[in-house]
A and B are shown apart, each in its own frame.
Chain A
Amino acid sequence: MSIRVNPNILPDLVASIEQAQQAAQTATQQMATGRSVNNLSDNPAAAASLVGNDALTSENDQYLTNLGDLQSKFQAADSALNTAVQLMTTAISLGTEGATGTLSASDRQVIAQQVQGLQQQMLALANTSYQGTYIFSGTDVTTQAFSPNSGSPSGVQYNGNAGVTSVDIGDGQSMQTNLSGDQIFTNANGSVFQALNDLVNSLNSGTGIDAANTEVSKAFSQLTTQRVFYGNALNQVQNSQNYLNQEQVNLSTQQNQLVGANMTQVVADESQAQTAEQAALSATAQILNLPTLLTYIK
């Protein structure tokens, strides 16, 4: 005697149709979203990695925005210092001219006035602000960096502080973003303001011009040295931008590997699921229409 089978085959047939439909639905969803992971449960490990990946991508975007801002700020500082260097070059030529023995006192005073003009311009440069904050005031950014002070040997006084800030420019990487004004303009190894003030005074008095010129040269080279900081900072910004842009590409590739749908595969899956569904439907219709013994009883 043969083994009796379940005469009610409908649930099996329906289940096979449902299975094919589910496969088609999954493929369609992957096609629509372009992702193979649409719910956390589709691939919990990939979804968890995606959290970290998305966070890094977003952080890097912010780093890039910050670097863009820093770049503008550094450019503003660098451009100010570039002009300052030019002013000092002019001061050196004026000083050389003033040191010529054939000049009359009134000629020297004219030159002294020109140097005073340079002093004014230098003060304005030292008080450069960027987006409402003074960039050479240390961290005391709301205070104007220098103000004229006739009682001071340099003719100015520094109102800022010696504070420096550093900013993260990548995961675990940070860079210093400023030099304090006193370090740049009233440095003990060559003070720009002191040198200019001494030059004006020596031109007016006619004594110590050569000493003042030496001082100006020293201040010039000191200023040039300080300016290198901003040049380097701009280079570092550029390097970090390049690195982060590459990193974003890597993260995006990783993300695609984690949750991206393999479109070729998905399209193949979809058409396979459709074929399977049609086969299941057609088989069901045929099986349900099979005659029974009753059909033949007359």
Chain B
Amino acid sequence: MGTLSSALNIAVQAMLADETALDTTSNNIANANTPGYSRQTVNFVEAPPVEYGGQLYGTGVQVSSIVSQRSGVLQLLLNQDTQQQGQYSSFLTTMQQVQTLFNETGGNGLQSSITGFFNSLQQLSEDPSNTTYRQAVITAAQNMAQNFNSISASLTSLQQNVDASVTQSVNQINALAPQIAALNSQISAAVSTGQNAGSLMDQRDQLINHLSGLVGVSEIDAGNGNITVTTTAGAPLVVGNKSFQLTTQADPTTGFQHVYSLGNDITSSIAGGALGGALQVRDSTIPSIQSSLDSLASNLENSFNAINQAGFDLNGNPGGNFFVPPPAGGAGAAAKMAVAITDPSQIAASQDGSAGDNANVNAMLAIQNQAIVNGQTPINAYSSLVFQIGNDVSTAQSEEQASQASIQQVQNQIGSISGVSINEEAANLIQYQQAYQAAAQAAAVISSLTQTAMTMFGAAPSVG
């Protein structure tokens, strides 16, 4: 049976529900620019009716839930793009410095010192007993060796910088994992009691996205609001309310930090994110460039040594090593390249021992056009290396731009679901304001009717 008091109650309930809606709207407006915030909406439902005398009476409105508008699929896509973007971006940070070491577009890279060395021999060939020309050959050889040394040293130092960033990334991952685990337990507690965990989920999405920027991860919905996070290769980072720390340990041979999970070396299985990009540069790209340089340096050194030993120097003595012999196998040859000859007369320019013979210099010169480096001439081998580096950087740049564009697109899609629209909120504000005003007006009218009913029996008005 409908009564004035139940009508008043309905109006007050409506005011309370509208207050909740206004509150949510206000919260949306407040967080319009908060990164990671998903707009929330209030779900109104009819309060359960009561039955009296065979008749159902409505009991007003109530708030069934406050819901965050979010898409798990899009968030997952965003994280995947973020992993790619993080990897390429970290790769490029170092590789853009690497490519400036091979400054061939400015015309003063390694090419000019290699050619300069051959040119000095060219000059000597024309006047093989000329001491000034001989000195010029030694100077050009030293210049070339120093160029190899400094490029190799710079590569190593870039590699070391990357190595330092590995530890930093691991520390950041280790800082994020416990926060995600803590949110997991808060969210599962909230979910089990039917509370709105939207803000907590926003925070967790943000943290997992940050984590994706650092390392490639897989996310598994473990139920009860929990998300299990592992590296793409399956090393656990967060399981339920537990987090697992990654550790680093220097490799005894290279001195570089290796990444361990639960005691296993997972370095080679890490892909994606800043850490994946750093490891790619440190363990694959730079070593491959170094090895090409080493091969170029050691083959040049060995070829020159063999020819110099086959000839006679200015004093008619058999020639010795032109360069300090490179390490066996060539590893480290570029870094250690050095000219063995110090006395200009020791260049074995002559093949028959006479001072004016240039046949041995000509044999040295011929190296320029011989396929001594893996089937390529020295300059062609170097040119291939230059192409390889340029291509690596250029490919990574395109990939990075593509993943950046993809991120932007996914963010737009996420925004279309989760973003706060001021216009929409303003419309809601007006709607709830009017609803609240109507409910308040209804309460006033019912209150007035109650007074009327009371006066009817002679009771003095309690108010007024």
Contacts and interface: CB of A to CB of B under 8 A. Distances in A.
B443 interface: no
Interface string B343-383: 00000001010111111001001001100000000011011
Interface stretch (A34-42, A92-100, A105-113): A34-42
Interface residues of A, number: 60
Contacts of A61: 119
Interface string B385-403: 0111111011001000000
B129 A133 contact: yes
B104 interface: yes
A101 interface: no
Contacts, number: 192
B386 A51 contact: yes
Nearest to A171: B369
Interface in A127-159: 131-133, 137-142
Q: Could you say which of B130, B408, B415 has the most chain A C-beta atoms within 10 Å of its C-beta?
A: B415
A3 interface: yes
A50 B394 contact: no
Interface stretch (B151-159, B261-269, B424-432): B424-432
Interface stretch (B44-52, B109-117, B225-233): B109-117
B242 to A, nearest CB: 35
B55 interface: no
Instruction: Please classify the interface of chain B as helix (H, G, I), strand (E, B), loop, or mixed, using the class held by over half of its residues.
Output: helix
Nearest to A67: B126
A38 B390 CA distance: 11
Contacts of B82: none
Nearest to B411: A11
Contact of B354 (A6, A15, A140): A140
Q: Could you say which of A37, A38, A40, A62 has the most chain B C-beta atoms within 10 Å of its C-beta?
A: A40
A292 B105 contact: no
Interface in A37-72: 37-45, 47-52, 54-55, 58-59, 61-63, 65-66, 69-70
B416 A163 contact: no
A163 B99 CA distance: 48
Given A7-B422, A297-B426, A40 B354 contact: no
B415 A8 contact: yes
A75 interface: no
Interface string B215-247: 000000000000000000000000000000000
A288 interface: no
11 contacts: A5-B415, A39-B105, A40-B104, A43-B394, A47-B104, A52-B383, A58-B112, A161-B354, A163-B356, A165-B125, A297-B426
Contacts of A165: 125, 128, 356-359
A294 interface: yes
Contacts of B356: 133, 137-142, 163, 165
Given A48-B384, A49-B383, A259 B421 contact: no
B401 to A, nearest CB: 10
Contacts of B393: 39-41, 44
Contacts of B272: none
B413 interface: yes
Contact of A139 (B116, B357, B384): B357
Interface string B402-421: 00000010011111110111
Nearest to A39: B99
Contact of A59 (B115, B354, B357, B388): B115
Interface in A1-34: 3-8, 11-12, 15
Contacts of A69: 123, 126-127
